[in-house]
Copies of this chain bind each other. A is one copy, B any other.
Amino acid sequence: MTLGQTFDVLASEDAGAKKTYTISELAAEFGITPRTIRFYEDEGLISPARAGTTRIYSRQDRGRLILICRGKRLGFSLAEIKEFLDLYHTDPDQVGQMSFALDRARNRIAQLEAQLLDVQKTLAELREIESAMAAHLARHGAVPRGN
């Protein structure tokens, strides 16, 4: 049993939840193409089961895809996302491996905390711009009612 099984995203046991998914189902759900999902597999980010040659995705696989897509939205490279995913199934018996993983986790945390500040700064600036523009348009634009 790895660390992964102890967390939500990779192990939700919902009653009405489907057990498996096809590649095109997942592609549709996440707004990506089957090609993209296969590419992620080539890059080692996901390893679905097979029925013959056809890929069968489990709920855990779907959880990984959620994390992958989120990582992409945050601007991480696939290599970084892979590293992130690996944190979920670090073998607890390999102390050295676990130490390295802990290090990487802490680095990633620091990185995300910096990104959090960046997002907040940018949001603050954009909101300033937004209200300035809205105010300007309220005065000079829009022509609220024939004046």
In the complex, per-residue mask of A15-45: 1 if CB is within 8 Å of any chain B CB, else 0: 0000000000000000000000000000000
Choose among B70, B71, B98, B133 the residue that contacts A90 (Cβ–Cβ < 8 A): B133
Q: Cβ of A118 and Cβ of B6 under 8 Å apart?
A: no
Q: Cβ of B105 and Cβ of A140 under 8 Å apart?
A: no
What does DSSP make chain A's interface, helix, strand, loop or mixed?
helix
Copy number in this complex? 2
Judged by a CB distance under 8 angstroms, whether A108 is at the interface is yes
- Chain B residues lying within 8 Å of A76, measured Cβ to Cβ, are 75
How many residues does chain A have at the interface if contact means C-beta atoms less than 8 Å apart?
Answer: 49
Judged by a CB distance under 8 angstroms, whether A134 is at the interface is yes
Q: Cβ of B128 and Cβ of A7 under 8 Å apart?
A: yes
